[in-house]
């Protein structure tokens, strides 16, 4: 076994480098080095953490193992830290961490991964009752994950001064204009982003690869969205609209990783989210063809928006995590 892996714990801001050669591992930060042992016996992998390590350090070790081997389904952790046992929801010794469970452990990937649930409070917007939505901060990192090819994918809230030029450039590409119709002057796009940053139900997000902006996402809550009345929407259903602005990252492999990551983010950020919805044009052949490969998504029906004939798509939490897409 030979692994070189870097990760960033989004909930704490800690960066880790993991090196494994044979059965010997070393986890490094800018301040500490933590040795550990790994043994492989057929399809079984055991992680010996030597006891005196934190929960996030164990998470970084586990991510290196799961990320480097798509067929790895579980890791046995000896002498597991009580915090990692609490995260997994088991207090057995040794602790067995299954792949399906691991990718639902929130601290690694989402900004609020250490937060506990807050009381559910409701409000009304335009005669629609819905939970009060969390506030966002301009430029805030929301999600970060190292992909299997080594690229670091990040979703962060848009920052007007930082992102306006590239946002304007993307929306003046003919292939983007066809769907978004936002080929506006910069000052109008500045106002568009500013409005989004103040909108409780939908907010503007920049997608980055290795720190470079490559796309734009609008994340929204469907209950108070225009989509809400067209199906039996639940309180924490999510949705998104997106564009890939950098043509160099177009292609199935990158798009597949991006779409699986946005689903991962939306399910992890709010544990009460059971469904992610989408409403592409009903004649969008590329999107509907993609569902054949990302089968957590299902087409439920077609319906008429005021501006288009749409297909209603649904991705359920249990289908996503049970399908082992990460």
Condensed to tens digits (0 to 9), the pLDDT of residues 130-165 reads 999 999 999 999 999 999 899 999 999 999 999 999
The C-alpha atoms of residue 38 and residue 21 are separated, in whole angstroms, by: 9
Query: Residue 20: its pLDDT value, please?
Result: 96
Domain boundaries, the chain: 2-103, 122-322
Q: Of the candidates 33, 90, 25, which has an alpha carbon nearest to the alpha carbon of residue 64?
A: 25
The C-alpha atoms of residue 160 and residue 138 are separated, in whole angstroms, by: 8
Q: Return phi, psi of residue 120, to 5°.
A: -80, 115
**Residue the block writes with tokens 């809550």:** 221
Check: CATH 3.40.50.10260 for 122-322? no
Question: Distances from the Cα of 314 to the Cαs of 128, 239, 300, in angstroms?
Answer: 21, 9, 7
Active site (catalytic) residues: 279
3-class secondary structure per residue, 263-280: HHHHHHHCCCCCEEEECC
For the beta sheet containing 14-21, the strands, ordered from the edge strand earlier in sequence to the opposite edge, are: 2-9, 14-21, 24-28, 33-41, 44-48, 74-78, 95-98
Query: Residue 89: its pLDDT value, please?
Result: 86
Angle, in degrees to the nearest 10, between helices 160-171 and 186-198: 120
pTM of the full structure: 0.95
Condensed to tens digits (0 to 9), the pLDDT of residues 159-192 reads 999 999 999 999 999 999 988 999 999 999 999 9
Residues in the chain: 326
Count of Cβ atoms closer than 10 Å to residue 273 Cβ: 17
Q: Of the candidates 15, 269, 301, 74, which has an alpha carbon nearest to the alpha carbon of residue 156?
A: 269
203 in helix, strand or coil? strand
Condensed to tens digits (0 to 9), the pLDDT of residues 226-260 reads 999 999 999 999 999 999 999 999 999 999 999 99
Whether the pLDDT of residue 52 is over 80: the answer is: no
Given a contact cutoff of 8 angstroms between Cβ atoms, the answer to whether 55 and 48 are in contact is no
């Amino acid at each position: 076994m030979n692994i070189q892996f870097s990760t960033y714990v989004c909930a704490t801001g800690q960066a880790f480098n993991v090196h494994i050669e044979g059965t010997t591992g070393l986890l490094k930060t800018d301040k500490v080095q933590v040795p550990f042992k790994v043994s492989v016996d057929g399809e079984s992998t055991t992680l010996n953490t030597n006891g005196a390590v934190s929960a996030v350090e164990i998470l970084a070790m586990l991510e290196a193992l799961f990320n480097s081997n798509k067929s790895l389904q579980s890791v046995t952790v000896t002498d597991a830290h009580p915090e990692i046992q609490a995260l997994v929801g088991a207090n057995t010794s040794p602790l067995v961490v299954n792949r399906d469970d691991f990718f639902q452990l929130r601290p690694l990937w989402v900004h609020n991964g250490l937060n506990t649930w807050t009381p559910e409070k409701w409000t009304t917007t335009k005669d629609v009752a819905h939970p009060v939505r969390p506030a966002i901060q301009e430029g805030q990192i929301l999600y970060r994950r190292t992909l299997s090819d080594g690229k670091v994918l990040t979703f962060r809230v848009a920052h007007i001064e930082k992102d306006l030029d590239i946002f304007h450039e993307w929306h003046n590409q003919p292939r983007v204009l066809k769907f978004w119709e936002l080929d506006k002057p910069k000052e109008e796009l500045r106002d568009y982003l500013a409005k989004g940053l103040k909108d409780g139900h939908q907010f503007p997000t920049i997608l980055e690869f290795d720190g470079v902006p490559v796309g734009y996402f609008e994340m929204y809550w469907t209950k108070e969205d225009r989509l809400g009345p067209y199906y039996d929407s639940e309180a924490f259903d999510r949705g998104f609209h997106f564009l890939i602005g950098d043509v160099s990252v177009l292609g199935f492999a990158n798009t597949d990783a991006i779409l699986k990551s946005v689903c991962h983010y939306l399910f992890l950020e709010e544990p009460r989210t059971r469904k992610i919805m989408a409403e592409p044009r009903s004649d969008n052949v590329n999107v509907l063809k993609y569902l054949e490969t990302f089968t957590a998504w299902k087409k439920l029906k077609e319906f008429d928006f005021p501006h288009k004939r749409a297909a209603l798509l649904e991705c359920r939490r249990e289908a996503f995590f049970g399908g082992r897409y990460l």
